[in-house]
A and B are shown apart, each in its own frame.
Chain A
Amino acid sequence: SYELTQPPSVSVSPGQTAVITCSGDAMSKQYTHWYQQKPGQAPVLVMFEDSERPPGISERFSGSSSGTAVTLTITGVQAEDEADYYCQSVDFSGSSLVFGGGTKLTV
């Protein structure tokens, strides 16, 4: 089955830049989306179609893609950014959605 690979954890100090990567073989042909999830809460979409930011999401969040990997970058990290981040895409056929294993961002 198709898999997306993320680092289990990323740790940064306040004010620094956090970079979370997600890789998958189909990424060069399919868009990737990113979700932020805080404990006990539902996920929140923070980036869609690789690099598009939804309304209401801080400009500190940005996304990029290159080949079979996409990246979520959070500049000027704040304590409130501490959360689990999941990438999500689809397989080559487009019929199955898949999530990465999640990255715990520690600030």
Chain B
Amino acid sequence: EVQLVESGGGLAKPGESLRLSCAASGVIFNTAWMNWVRQAPGKGLEWVGRIKSQKAGGAIDYAAPVKGRFIISRDDSTGTLFLQMNNLKTEDTAVYFCTTRINWGQGTLVTVSA
């Protein structure tokens, strides 16, 4: 059974940083293209970014609202996906999901407020 478990969410002030993690099990992680998707309270799904597998070149793409502030990385040796969020803004408040697009974690809540 595939499991994706996010962690690292919490409360941050504008301008601060947070680092999210996503631990994967039951999936061949090193071949998976991994995505971060977020959902602001009461809003729809918004793609944050994607990292391809090393075999596919490892390219990383970001959505425009987070480009230059967020950094996606992965550790294939531990099956972990990361999202480093810098210079947080109030509009970054959302539940953040990691997903292979087939499998999704339950999400971790990030709240950015002064």
Contacts and interface: CB of A to CB of B under 8 A. Distances in A.
B28 interface: no
Interface stretch (A21-29, A63-71, A74-82, A96-104): A96-104
A43 B104 CA distance: 7
Nearest to B105: A42
B97 A42 contact: yes
Contact of A86 (B45, B64, B105): B45
B61 interface: yes
A33 B106 CA distance: 20
Contact of A101 (B44, B59, B104): B44
Interface in B65-94: none
Contacts of B63: 96
Contacts of B102: 45, 48, 54
Nearest to A100: B44
A44 B97 CA distance: 12
A74 to B, nearest CB: 19
B16 interface: no
Contacts of A45: 101-102
Interface in B5-49: 35, 37, 44-47
Nearest to B44: A102
B45 A35 contact: yes
A57 to B, nearest CB: 11
A86 to B, nearest CB: 5
Interface of A: 1, 33, 35, 37, 42-45, 48, 54, 84, 86, 88, 95-102
Given A42-B105, A86-B44, A96-B63, 17 more contacts: A33-B101, A35-B45, A42-B106, A42-B107, A43-B99, A44-B104, A54-B102, A84-B44, A88-B47, A95-B59, A95-B61, A96-B61, A97-B47, A97-B50, A99-B44, A100-B44, A102-B45
